[in-house]
Amino acid sequence: MNALLSIENVSVSFAQRKRLFGGPRASLRAVDDVSAEIGEGETLALVGESGSGKTTLGHVVAGLRKPSAGRVRLRGAELGAANRALAGRAIQIVFQDPFSALDPRMPVSDIIAEPLRIQGAASKAERRARAAALVEEVGLPVDALNRYPHEFSGGQRQRIAIARALAPAPQLIVADEPLSALDVSIQSQILNLFRDIQKRERLSYLFISHDLGVVEHLADRVAVLYLGRIIELARREDIFAHPAHPYTRALLDSMPRIGKGRHRKRAIKGEMPSPLAPPSACVFHPRCPLVQDICRTLAPRFEPLAARPSHLAACHFKE
């Protein structure tokens, strides 16, 4: 597989405010030593509970936050201040809340063409022509161009946000929970839109979601994030058919499914621990149904399964 984007040992920590009377300055590790690759035309889904660091990682990839350690490479070139413009064209982002994602005081044509304007890549006339073409591509009415965001529903706004992300013909779109603020009936439309666009444009997605049902429809590979660490990474079929990590299994069991009755064999107990004080050794051990002494003393390595080398998991008892 040809890696379009590689995330190499990325960590993000937030320094907590200094205490008034000295004391140690705590730091919160939102993302801890994460590595992953996204191939051309591939969708990597990032799943996890809220607070697992999904959005922070997405922001790092989109260039909105500098990683405290590690790097992100696009086709081998490290992203940073030097090639900000390249990254701005190649990587775009779609947000969760379609209401805050669009400037309420900007007409739709300007919103969609904005990346081109920022990059100075096209004349005014070209930008307008591009906006008009994109409006059609994402399935909005043609008269949308001169209207303002408040005249559109959530689903339509998300289409506008997608059109904006497509404007500079990017290679990767970071989609940060793009469906979770929408009605279920609209979700499937937008999901199909994401799929159609990918087919047409050969785009890659970093698709951040906590909805495994959505992930099952769209993802090629799935990375499961827990407390800022990837604990399992595998092809979609493998994750859904043979989850190796107990946390992934618990996530899958909590997925509502039609026709299988109510069985919640392995619901996870407790809350996610505070990332300010992550558990020692295996970070999942306080909630793990399979926990043994070794889990409390030795951190499991994130390594391939014996049966499937493409399937990685961080657990002493991966199946």
Partner 1 sequence: MTDLATEGALASPARAIEAAQSVWSLRWRRFRHHRAGIASLAILALLVLFCLSAYPLERYLNLDSNATDLLSRYDPPSATHWLGTDEGGRDELLRLMYGGQISLLVGLLATVIGGGIGVSLGLVAGYFGGRLDSFLMRLTDGVIALPLLPLLIVLAALDLTKLGFSSEFAHSGAAGFWRIVVIIALVDWTAIARLVRAATLSVKERDYILAARASGAGALYVMATHVLPNIVTPIIVALTLTVGRVILFESVLSFLGFGIVPPTPSWGNMLNNAQELVTTAPALAIYPGLLIFITVIAVNFLGDGMQHAFDPRSERR
Residues that bind partner 1 (CB under 8 A): 59, 62-64, 84-85, 87-89, 91-93, 95, 97, 100-107, 109-111, 114-115, 118-119, 123-126, 128-129, 131-132, 136, 142-143, 145-146, 148, 150, 161, 164-165, 168
Q: Which is nearer to partner 1, 30 or 227 (CB)?
A: 30
236 vs 305: CA distance, rounded Å: 15
Q: Which is nearer to partner 1, 60 or 225 (CB)?
A: 60
Question: What's the min distance (Å) between Cβ of 48 and partner 1?
Answer: 20
Q: Which is nearer to partner 1, 162 or 272 (CB)?
A: 162
HEC string for 82-98: CCHHHHHHHEEEECCCC
Q: Which two tokens stand for residue 145?
A: 């161009």
Question: What's the min distance (Å) between Cβ of 297 and partner 1?
Answer: 41
Q: Is the dihedral angle over the CA atoms 242, 5, 63, 220 positive or is it negative?
A: negative
Alpha-carbon distances, residue 260 vs 89, 215, 247, 256, 257 (angstroms): 45, 19, 21, 9, 6
Instruction: Sort 14 into a burial class: Cβ within 10 Å, 0-12 / 13-18 / 19+.
Output: middle
Q: Which is nearer to partner 1, 2 or 146 (CB)?
A: 146
Question: What's the min distance (Å) between Cβ of 170 and partner 1?
Answer: 9
315 vs 262: CA distance, rounded Å: 28
Question: What's the min distance (Å) between Cβ of 11 and partner 1?
Answer: 21
224 vs 248: CA distance, rounded Å: 7
Q: Which is nearer to partner 1, 156 or 248 (CB)?
A: 156
Question: What's the min distance (Å) between Cβ of 238 and partner 1?
Answer: 32
